[in-house]
Structure 1
Amino acid sequence: MALMLQLIFTLFTLSSNTECSDVFVSVGDSVQLHTQEPVPEFRTLFWRFNKNENVLEYLKKYKDITPSPRLRDRVEFNNETYTLTLKNLQKTDSGLYEAIAAGDKGSVVAVYTLSVLDPVEAPVLSAFPKESSSDLCNITVSCRSDDLSINFMCYNKTCQEKTEAQSGNTVLSVFINERSIICNHSNQVSWKNAVLEMRRFCGEKDSVSSSAGVSVCLLKIVLFSTALILMVSAVITVHIRGRLRKSS
């Protein structure tokens, strides 16, 4: 009971000049939360979640560590640096984490806002002729993810300026250069992209490259066949001359 009263008193007399830090982590990863240095003298150190749940309680005198039953298998504590390690993080672990050093006074010695995010999916980037247009160089480009999309026009390989869409922590961006269109899907923990080559527009370079490839291949076959015929002819000629000499 005395300990509970002391805790209540401590929580009402907290002092802090610790800034809150934003931390972003992928689902399933681990994170280390550090305290400020130096930590003032204390009897008990608490790591709290969303101000109402004790993640861990550390009694300095007895070096006794009591983790939350909910996180018992996913939490580690260093009793020298007072660092808290959370493992196999899930999105439900997102929230506010505070470290409180409780002694004669209570001091907040760490504040973190933790966001646990899913990795993004690869975006889908596609191009198709503009409706009611017979010009294959006049196309609409579409870049989309599960919750975002960007559409813009390109004509004769010249496109609208790059653009961007955002929803929460997720960003969909389009970048355009002379050779390609790049659609990037990202958040604070991951990114993936899709690329559309400019040479696909209008089919000009593709047809030239294809024709050149066939011509080179055909030329190699003709040269090889001609050389083979000449070699066989030479062998037959030498053989016939040898037999004629023996006969004479």
Structure 2
Amino acid sequence: MSIFVILGLLVCIEAQGSSAVTTVFVKKGDDLILNVDVDADVPEKFLIVDWKFNKMVVVVFAPDGGRSVHDEFTGRVEFLGKMFSVKLKNLQEADSGVYAAQVGTLQGDKPLAKYKVTVQGPVSPVELTVDSVDSVFSRGSDSCNLTVTCSTQHSHISSTFRCVNRTCSQEGGEQSELTTSGASLHIYLVNSSIICNHSNQVTKDFKRIEPVCPHDGPSAGTSVYLVKMVVFSVGLIIMVSAVITVHLMEKFRKHK
């Protein structure tokens, strides 16, 4: 009797016992080892042991040592030395789901291991841009408000920062958003550096800028005003000196 025929006969037998679920995140293209604990209670006279993916049989172990792999996983399953443990190769997003191992006996099925697997690709690159800078007049300090946008291909968040002499604070604290791909987009401060972070459980991409207030705000305007006043004063002095000189020369000419 073939392994899959035996498996078919066991489908109607109610599963017994319970098994803890192990949550695993896998980077797209990586491998995953599905382990059955060596201490698992597997009867010597079992009918079959199998791994299922979302209730589809992937691997079957027979009592005589025979092993079978479903056609969809041919070439992607490696059998390990550990009891009933296997390695799945080159996982893709479509491989996300529940993988469960169980042993079948005449008394019923007993779970051996269970994994909830999520396969994720790399996150898209982020961009961090300064949208606007508003200078703030503050005597003796370099101050400004910066509005900054952290964006990916399909998502973006903005935040405003108040900076005084390169020491910044973020209005409303850290900003975050969950993207359509299930990744997280964050914009926050670290030691007065503005960070834009796009990450999921397996990869991340980030950008950093050091905010600096420009020198064209009111304080710079004040400096320009002072320069104009100095130039005007010097010009006035020159004009007065010229008038006095002409007056003295005319008086000297008449006297002579």
Give the TM-score normalised by structure 1.
0.72
Over the matched positions of the two proteins, sequence identity in percent amounts to: 26
The reply to whether residue 170 of structure 1 matches residue 177 of structure 2 is: no
Aligned match of 1:86: 88
Aligned match of 1:45: 49
* Larger-gyration structure (1/2): 2
> How many angstroms does 1:10 deviate by?
5.0
**Contact conserved, 1:26 with 1:119, CA < 8 A, in 2?**
yes
Query: Cα–Cα, structure 1 residues 54 and 137, in superposed 2: closer, same or farther, change >3 Å?
Result: same
> How many angstroms does 1:66 deviate by?
0.7
Aligned match of 2:197: 184
**Contact conserved, 1:39 with 1:101, CA < 8 A, in 2?**
no
CA distance in 2, matches of 1:195, 1:11: 58
CA distance in 2, matches of 1:144, 1:87: 33
> How many angstroms does 1:67 deviate by?
0.7
Pairs aligned (count): 199
CA distance in 2, matches of 1:7, 1:16: 20
The reply to whether residue 32 of structure 1 matches residue 46 of structure 2 is: no
Query: Cα–Cα, structure 1 residues 180 and 106, in superposed 2: closer, same or farther, change >3 Å?
Result: same
Aligned match of 2:13: 12
CA distance in 2, matches of 1:144, 1:186: 12
Give the TM-score normalised by structure 2.
0.69
- Correspondence for 1:137 among 134, 144, 162: 144
CA distance in 2, matches of 1:188, 1:174: 17
Give CA deviations for 1:21-77 in whole Å, capped at 9, x if unaligned: 1111011000001124323212311111111x211111121x111111111111112
The one-letter code matched in structure 2 to 1:139 is L
- Correspondence for 1:57 among 55, 60, 85: 60
SS in 2 for 1:99: strand
CA distance in 2, matches of 1:122, 1:203: 32
- Correspondence for 2:103 among 77, 96, 101: 101
SS in 1 for 2:74: helix
SS in 1 for 2:58: strand
**Contact conserved, 1:21 with 1:113, CA < 8 A, in 2?**
yes
**Contact conserved, 1:172 with 1:186, CA < 8 A, in 2?**
yes
Unaligned runs of 5+ in 2: 137-142, 217-256
More helix per residue: 1
Aligned match of 1:210: none
CA distance in 2, matches of 1:57, 1:15: 19
The one-letter code matched in structure 2 to 1:183 is C
Unaligned runs of 5+ in 1: 205-248
The one-letter code matched in structure 1 to 2:202 is V
CA distance in 2, matches of 1:102, 1:31: 24
CA distance in 1, matches of 2:101, 2:191: 52
Give CA deviations for 1:119-177 in whole Å, capped at 9, x if unaligned: 112311111215xx676933210001233321011233433211211136311112213
Query: Cα–Cα, structure 1 residues 151 and 91, in superposed 2: closer, same or farther, change >3 Å?
Result: same
CA distance in 1, matches of 2:190, 2:62: 60
CA RMSD after TM alignment: 2.5
